[in-house]
Amino acid sequence: MKLLAIAIFVLSSSAALATPAVGDYAVFSGTVTKGTQVTTIRDEMELVSYDQTTNQFTEKITETTPAGTTSGSQQVDATKLLTDSTIAQILQTCASFGGVPASVTTAIATFNTCALPVDGNSKGTVWVGAVPFGIVQMDLTDVASGQRSQAIVTAARPFPR
């Protein structure tokens, strides 16, 4: 379940200035590889409520693997989520963020994205685009464990963004 949380946290340093909306929903399909073991995953993320007094969203996350489905929720500070304006800024000035403009085709559309390098606890690339949560695709390897997570958006609402 932490696959997308890692990517969103990495990108939150880009500074989100406004809040996303309750009802934002995205599905990501991909694989997690550790050594020679490859596991298929399907992560669903949805913002189900917002508390104006704490400026936090309740984010529901459901992960499905061959071993079964797990579901949970967490509180996420609104400033840690990418906004439409931040995504637009990243796309318009991709190189200034250290990225490379790229076109990514998914099951739902072809997106103009900014492929951003990630270099920290995880290394790899995150493709930012105009979808809920701002992540179109990711390919990240955890430095400590060597676990590689790859995912692409396969459903989103509202869509188009």
pLDDT of 28-86, one tens digit each? 999 999 999 999 999 999 999 999 999 999 999 999 999 999 999 999 999 999 999 99
Mean pLDDT (the chain) is: 89
Give the start-to-end residue ranges of the domains of the chain: 2-157
**What is the pTM (predicted TM-score) of this model?**
0.85
One-letter-per-residue 3-state SS of the chain: CHHHHHHHHHHHCCCCCCCCCCCCEEEEEEEEEECCEEEEEEEEEEEEEEECCCCEEEEEEEEEECCEEEEEEEEEEHHHCCCHHHHHHHHHCHHHHCCEEEEEECCCCEEEEEEEEEECCEEEEEEECCCHHHEEEEEEEECCCCCEEEEEEEEEECCCC
